[in-house]
Amino acid sequence: MKRITIAIDGYSSCGKSTMAKDLAREIGYVYVDSGAMYRAVTLYALEHGLIAPDGTIDEERLRAAMPDIVISFQFNPERGRPDTYLNGVCVEDRIRTLEVSNRVSPIATLGVVREEMVRQQQRMGQEGGIIMDGRDIGTTVFPQAELKIFVTASAEVRAQRRYDELTAKGEACNMEDILRNVEERDYIDTHRDISPLRQADDALVLDNSHMTIPEQKQWLLREFERVVNGGKSGMSGDSKISGLSGTLK
Nearer to ligand CDP, 179 or 228 (CB): 179
Q: Are strands 5-10 and 130-134 parallel, antiparallel or unpaired?
A: parallel
**Binding flag, residue 31, ligand CDP (CB under 6 A):** no
Q: Is 108 in the site for ligand CDP (CB under 6 A)?
A: yes
Which amino acid is it at 186? D
* CA contacts within 13 A on the Cβ side of 24: 25
- The secondary structure of 138-194 as a DSSP string is IIII-TT-SEEEEEE--HHHHHHHHHHHHHHTT----HHHHHHHHHHHHHHHHH-SS
Among 22, 146, 189, 223, interactor with ligand CDP by CB under 6 A = 189
Q: Does 105 bind ligand CDP (CB under 6 A)?
A: yes
Compute φ and ψ for 199, nearest 5 degrees: -75, 130
Binding of ligand CDP by 104 (CB under 6 A) = yes
Per CB under 6 A, does 208 bind ligand CDP? no
Q: Is 135 in the site for ligand CDP (CB under 6 A)?
A: yes
Comparison of 17 and 27: residue with beta carbon closer to ligand CDP: 17
Residue 145 in the binding site for ligand CDP (CB under 6 A):
no
Query: With the C-alpha atoms ordered 224, 143, 119, 190, is the resulting torsion angle positive or negative?
Result: negative
Note the residues at the interface with ligand CDP (CB under 6 A): 12-13, 34-35, 38-39, 104-105, 108, 134-137, 185, 189
